[in-house]
A and B are shown apart, each in its own frame.
Chain A
Amino acid sequence: MIDEMMAIAILLPVAAGLLILAIRNYYARNVVVVATSIALIVNSVLLSINGPFTYTPEGVNWGLFITILDYAILLFYLYIGFTLRNWLVVIFAFTQLVPLAYFEFIMKAHLELSPAFVVDHLSLVMTLIISIIGSLICIFALRYMYDHEHHAHLTKSRQSRFLFWLVLFLGAMNGLVFANNLFWLYFFWEVTTLCCYQLISHDRTQEAINNAARALWMNATGGTAFILAIIYLYVTQGGSSALSLQTLIGGGIQASVVLLPVALLCYTGFTKAAQMPFQSWLLGAMVAPTPVSALLHSSTMVKAGVYLVLRLAPAFAGTYLSIAIAIAGAFTFFATSALAISQTTGKRVLAYSTIANLGLIIACTGINTPLSVAAAILLIIFHAISKGLLFLCAGTIEHQIWSREIEDMEGLAAKAPLTTLITAVGILSMFLPPFGMLLGKWIALEAAYMVPLAAILFVLASTLTIVFWTKWLGRLLQVLPKLGWPLERLSLSYSAPLWTLLIGIFAVGIGVGPIYQNFLLDATNNVVSGNQIFAIGWNNLVLTSASFIQRDILGLFPIWPLYLILVVALLLPLLLIGLKPTELRPVYLCGEQVGGTDTDEWSAEADQKTKFLLGGYYFQSSLGEKKVNPWANTIAIVLLVIMIGCGVIVIC
């Protein structure tokens, strides 16, 4: 049973991907993708019911297989580097290839390890996110890529290739969150980097290729740190047993040795999670078709980065490294939230918001208490749902107005009411109570006093978050006084994932109490033992102090009452209050408008008919990238050096 489930989780996407590559028919391909998605979703649920467990595949010599593929991937990087003449890619391919070859051929390292996979509750949470949200995005991509190529007037369809990498990504992510053998984890890590490169460069424009190469070399620096950590552990501990992730975090290795490789691995996590100063690769990834962004931002890639840091949390608990990680994460949260305000492109706002929230999650990991780790896991889940939804919305909007600019989205509520409604809920769910993201942020803030500097950065960042979301949503709603907005028709491939994710926001948000107690608490305990969150009565979440002797209550969040209030405050007025045509009036223009109620023209100078234009605030002179990036990147680099320094100092 476990054999089959593991095979479906990791190998089915590979097999399905190859099949998709072979099929040239649009409908046949859709059937394969949908069937694979359903299989992955059902399988992930079955895994969660049967888990946790450990597993080592038998029969085939998988170790050899993985080693060969490792070299194949790295040689492919070299090939890319040379053909693009991008020397950074070449350098960081070599920095991985040379140590790896030295390690295996000169040192003749023995890399077999049992168990190869450890599937605990944290892995199960991750695989649920990857399988469910990832699959929904793949379904969305079916129609999206069809429209995308139609709009670009491509003669030869490249949809098969695109879907191949998309589906393969899910398999690699599943392997990544299950792996216990660090060397295998490294392999899956590299596969995700490769998938990411292929997907970003998909459109083959110069910009796409350049940005993909940037993503590649930045992640390759992380891969290099990963290899160095593996070699360091192997050499100091003398054997493959040191490569077990469980030994590493279970206190099996003395603290003075373990901190440097852990710091290096955290660096790797930072690169993949696009933390400052690596944010540019994720922003560059925005050139890719929107399903790629949705996948990278919600359920795969960047979540692998935060997963690794979260996974390693027990190994750095109670050290200065932990505090350094908390502050570095909190700083990214703050700086990228400020940068998001200055962005005029919808997808770039989403990207900065992702980086910010990943920073928050990493900071929570660094604070390293049961409360903050629970917040981190809740944020991973809710962020995946909300951000997945928002990217799909951005894609849907793009295919309605053929623009990604926020200013072009003005008055979308009248043109595409359904899309606007879903987008509005998605945006509200990112930063307001009672939605899950705010719940996570609230828990994080209540836990943050352990590292006061992080708490203060949280406060500033969450304020900035309000500003950029509200002003974007405001632009969507800016409509002329007019009644009767016809609902737009959405293809099923668009609407099914959108509605599923929308329902997901509410289902998981409303049921968070039982979900936490029955499932997420175990995942939290995989990282840090103890429980500080209790659900009582009407799903009131009560936070308590960590002490077991006397539990003081820290805070209270009534979940169901707040959702009820949301219904009363927003949903009932939306449904119940109508506006008759006779009650409609033009907006106030000092009596100078031209025409009827639904006009945006007025008599300007010399009674000339002039259209008035509105625009949002972007503060590019004070918060623009040119202004902020130099000092923010400098601070981020200093924090990164301090972080790795914390690992080095222990050895000296």
Chain B
Amino acid sequence: MLEQFILVFATLVGAPLAGGLLFGIDRKITARLQGRYGPPVIQPFYDFFKLLGKEHIAVSRLQFIWIYGYLVFMVVSLIFLVLKSDILLLVFLLGFAGVSLVLGGFSTKSPYAHFGANRELLQIMAYEPVLLLFAIGVYAQNGSFLISEIFKQDKPLLFSLWPLFLAVLYVLTIKMRKSPFDIATSHHGHQEIVKGVTTEYSGPYFALFHLAEWYEIVLLLGIISLFWANPLWVGILIALVAFLLELLVDNIAARMTARWMVRLSWSIGLLLGVINIAYIYLTKGVS
């Protein structure tokens, strides 16, 4: 029990540090790819504290509820991962975080936030089925939805679930808000209508959004590393390579339309997952 508390505490503190650093690296590498020098690696932390010190202003009280909902459910999803709990429930909790962000965008009569929220909703529609299929794929392979069971297997999931791995990589692009799928809000100023779903957040509340994003990136890379859980360092390495790959794709691709994203996800993404699960079902049966 004590061990679990320490683990949770370490996650609560450590994850944003790692997440912020990853975003710093992102900005540095992106700058270099674009022929700029780029800000220092710890710039996201400077930004975060500066935002925290800004004036409290808002357009609606409802915004607070949803930005906290987004943050808290993101953290809870990450804790589920760290405690090696149920992967299917983790996906549903992540869904709650996503829905909170959408409702945050909707909860004021603002045209830009409204567009962003609609787009964020389409993003959920694009990635949610792939993640759920991934959870079912884990069950098909291991006979359990528990993440702890993944760690007990000698053979990495990547061997049996590589089509789903590709689909999850695709989802990573959507979740990291990277081109070509930075539809709801983008990290690049030149391809953004104002600031998408986050338009109406400012100051400390916007800092909370960044904090949630930091937890999110750690969570996503953690999910990727599950594909090679034994030994875990290989999985983490794979996740970091995937992260760098996303940065590369981000800088060579342009933003696509939301409809295109949903179609691609519901055709190729789902097909990969379905074929993967069907193959395991036919070869292994119900375990």
Q: State the A residues within 8 Å of B (CB).
A: 410-411, 413, 432-433, 438, 442, 445-446, 448-450, 452, 455-456, 459-460, 462-464, 466-467, 470-471, 473-475, 477-481, 483, 545, 552-558, 562, 565, 568-570, 572-574, 577-579, 583-589, 600, 612, 614, 616-617
Check A467 against B125 for contact (C-beta < 8 Å).
yes
Check B85 against A556 for contact (C-beta < 8 Å).
yes
Check A587 against B125 for contact (C-beta < 8 Å).
no
Per the bound structure, the CA–CA distance linking A459 and B69 in Å amounts to 24
Contact residue among A445, A565, A587 (Cβ-Cβ distance under 8 Å from B110) = A587
Contact residue among A438, A480, A572 (Cβ-Cβ distance under 8 Å from B92) = A438
Per the bound structure, the CA–CA distance linking A583 and B114 in Å amounts to 22
| Residues of A with C-beta under 8 A to B121 | 467, 470-471, 474, 617
| Residues of A with C-beta under 8 A to B144 | 552-555
Check A470 against B136 for contact (C-beta < 8 Å).
no
Check A569 against B68 for contact (C-beta < 8 Å).
yes
| Residues of A with C-beta under 8 A to B88 | 442, 445-446, 555
| Residues of B with C-beta under 8 A to A463 | 124-125, 128-129, 132
Per the bound structure, the CA–CA distance linking A446 and B142 in Å amounts to 13
Apart from A460-B129, A570-B68, list 14 A-B contacts with CB within 8 A. Answer: A433-B96, A445-B136, A448-B136, A455-B277, A459-B132, A467-B125, A470-B102, A471-B106, A474-B106, A479-B108, A556-B89, A569-B72, A585-B57, A588-B199
Min CB distance B204 to A, Å, is 11
Per the bound structure, the CA–CA distance linking A462 and B112 in Å amounts to 28
Count A-B pairs with CB separation below 8 Å: 185
Closest chain B residue to A569, Cβ basis = B72
Check A479 against B145 for contact (C-beta < 8 Å).
no
Per the bound structure, the CA–CA distance linking A553 and B143 in Å amounts to 9
Q: How large is the interface on B (under 10, 10 to 19, 20 to 34, 35 or more residues)?
A: 35 or more
The answer, yes or no, to whether B107 is at the interface (CB within 8 Å) is yes
Contact residue among A462, A475, A570, A577 (Cβ-Cβ distance under 8 Å from B69) = A570
Check B89 against A614 for contact (C-beta < 8 Å).
no
Closest chain B residue to A622, Cβ basis = B259
Check B89 against A557 for contact (C-beta < 8 Å).
yes
Q: State the B residues within 8 Å of A (CB).
A: 55-62, 64-65, 68-69, 71-73, 76, 85-86, 88-89, 92-93, 95-96, 99-100, 102-103, 105-114, 117-118, 121-122, 124-125, 128-129, 132-133, 135-136, 139-140, 143-146, 149, 194, 199-200, 270, 274, 277-278, 281, 286
Query: Given A463-B128, A556-B85, A573-B65, A478 and B136 touching (CB < 8 A)?
Result: no
Per the bound structure, the CA–CA distance linking A584 and B61 in Å amounts to 9
Closest chain A residue to B118, Cβ basis = A617
Min CB distance B246 to A, Å, is 23
Contact residue among B99, B114, B135 (Cβ-Cβ distance under 8 Å from A614) = B114
Min CB distance B84 to A, Å, is 10
Min CB distance B59 to A, Å, is 4
Check A588 against B194 for contact (C-beta < 8 Å).
yes
Min CB distance A558 to B, Å, is 8
Closest chain B residue to A433, Cβ basis = B92
| Residues of B with C-beta under 8 A to A554 | 139, 143-146
Per the bound structure, the CA–CA distance linking A47 and B111 in Å amounts to 55
| Residues of B with C-beta under 8 A to A471 | 106, 118, 121
Min CB distance A352 to B, Å, is 17
Min CB distance B247 to A, Å, is 28
Interface centre among A483, A554, A562 (most CB of B within 10 A): A554
Min CB distance B17 to A, Å, is 22
Query: Given A432-B95, A463-B129, A565-B72, A579 and B61 touching (CB < 8 A)?
Result: yes
Interface pairs A-B: 7 shortest CB-CB: A474-B106, A569-B72, A587-B110, A477-B107, A555-B145, A459-B132, A573-B68
Closest chain B residue to A474, Cβ basis = B106
Interface centre among B57, B61, B69, B118 (most CB of A within 10 A): B61
Check A449 against B136 for contact (C-beta < 8 Å).
yes
| Residues of A with C-beta under 8 A to B93 | 433
29 contacts between A and B (CB under 8 A): A410-B109, A432-B96, A433-B92, A446-B88, A448-B136, A449-B139, A449-B281, A452-B277, A456-B274, A466-B95, A470-B102, A474-B103, A474-B121, A478-B107, A478-B114, A479-B107, A479-B108, A481-B60, A554-B139, A555-B88, A565-B72, A569-B68, A569-B71, A573-B64, A573-B65, A587-B109, A587-B200, A588-B200, A589-B111
